[in-house]
Amino acid sequence: MKDLEIINERIVRQNTDIPGIAFEVLNKSNRNVMAIHISCGDASISKDGLEDEEAPTVVIEPHRTLSAEMTDLGRGPIVITSATFQDGSEEGDPASVDLMQRLRARGRAQRKAERDKQFR
């Protein structure tokens, strides 16, 4: 993705039971990132600021970074597989975009069910 870049990769907790890789994602664009999905082989992490429709949150502001860490690493490089921007545009691997949309819909449904339960 041209507007997002993995930077400052480093090994953390190297000689422990839970070693990992820490890194940052740099937003090189003028757009807010609202959701992002990152993969390393079969392992992945995501952050979705759109899960709560009533209170969306920006994941990465323009020209800022998001700190992240992966402990369950797969084989291969760390790759940004999809991202959603505040203008509604989505970029990345179609399967990853679809996965993020399905996870968001499930999270929204769970949040709605919890709210409905509170008002009964």
The pLDDT score that the predictor gives to residue 59 is 96
Identify the bridge partners of residue 10 per DSSP, sorted by sequence position.
22
- The model's pLDDT over 53-110, given as tens digits with 9 standing for 90+, comes to 788 999 999 999 999 999 876 677 899 999 999 998 999 988 888 888 888 888 888 8
Number of domains in the chain: 1
pLDDT digit string (tens) for 23-55? Answer: 999 999 999 999 999 988 888 889 989 888 788
Residue with the two structure tokens 């990769």: 9
So what's the pLDDT on residue 103? 85
Residue range of the domain that includes 99? 4-118
Given this model, what pLDDT does residue 105 score?
Answer: 85
- Give the domain CATH number at 100: 2.60.40
Q: Rounded distance, CA 84 to CA 19, Å?
A: 29
- Residue 74's pLDDT is 64
Structure confidence at residue 113 (pLDDT): 84
- Distance between terminal CA atoms of the chain? 45
